[in-house]
Amino acid sequence: MQKSLSPKTTPEALAPIAEYFKVLSEVSRLQILSCLRSGAMNVTELGDATGLGQANLSKHLKMLTQAGLLSRQPQGVSVYYEISDPVIFELCELVCDRVGDRIQQQAAKFERFI
User: Is 106 within a domain?
Assistant: no
Q: How high is the pLDDT of residue 3?
A: 67
- CA pair distance 24, 91, nearest whole angstrom: 10
User: Is 96 within a domain?
Assistant: no
Q: Which domain holds residue 80?
A: 11-85
Q: How high is the pLDDT of residue 1?
A: 47
- CA pair distance 75, 89, nearest whole angstrom: 26
Q: How confident is the model at residue 4 (pLDDT cuts 50, 70, 90)?
A: confident
- CA pair distance 43, 45, nearest whole angstrom: 5
User: Is 1 within a domain?
Assistant: no
What is the pTM (predicted TM-score) of this model?
A: 0.83
User: Is 4 within a domain?
Assistant: no
User: Is 6 within a domain?
Assistant: no
Total number of domains constituting the chain: 1
User: Is 111 within a domain?
Assistant: no
Closest CA to 61 of 48, 87, 85, 42: 42
- CA pair distance 74, 77, nearest whole angstrom: 7
Assign residue 68 the CATH number of its domain.
1.10.10.10
pLDDT digit string, tens, across residues 26-82: 999 999 999 999 999 999 999 999 999 999 999 999 999 999 999 999 999 999 999
User: Is 31 within a domain?
Assistant: yes
